[in-house]
């Protein structure tokens, strides 16, 4: 988490980072069992999401980063709902 230079985390939401809870695996993929909801407290343009192990700070492991197909503009009072699908394949 400490060494990413291509993006900046938006922290204008209530609480810590949200926990991703995996759903059942199927055909090499898992999607979170329900959306991860962020209660927005500021105005921002959200361009993507990341999955990591730390609720705060930079000591955790960064598993992946992805850009949304189009950015999302949010304002205070909005709820940003994120669904993540993790896919694995053998090499």
Higher pLDDT, 1 or 22: 22
Q: d(Cα 4, Cα 59) in Å, to the nearest integer? A: 12
Residue 3 has pLDDT above 80, yes or no: no
Residue 45 has pLDDT above 90, yes or no: yes
Q: d(Cα 55, Cα 51) in Å, to the nearest integer? A: 11
Give tens-digit pLDDT for 61-78: 888 888 999 999 999 999
Res 6: pLDDT: 76
Predicted TM-score of the model (pTM) = 0.83
E-strand ranges in the chain read 29-31, 36-39, 44-52, 62-74, 79-82, 85-87
């Amino acid at each position: 988490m400490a060494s990413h230079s291509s993006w900046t985390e938006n922290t204008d939401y209530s609480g810590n980072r949200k926990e991703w809870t995996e759903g059942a695996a199927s055909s090499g993929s898992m999607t979170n069992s329900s959306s991860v909801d962020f209660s927005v407290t500021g105005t921002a343009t959200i361009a993507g999401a990341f999955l990591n192990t730390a609720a705060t700070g930079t000591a955790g492991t960064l598993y992946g980063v992805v850009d949304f197909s189009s950015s999302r503009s949010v304002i205070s009072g909005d709820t940003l709902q994120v669904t993540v699908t993790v896919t694995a394949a053998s090499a």
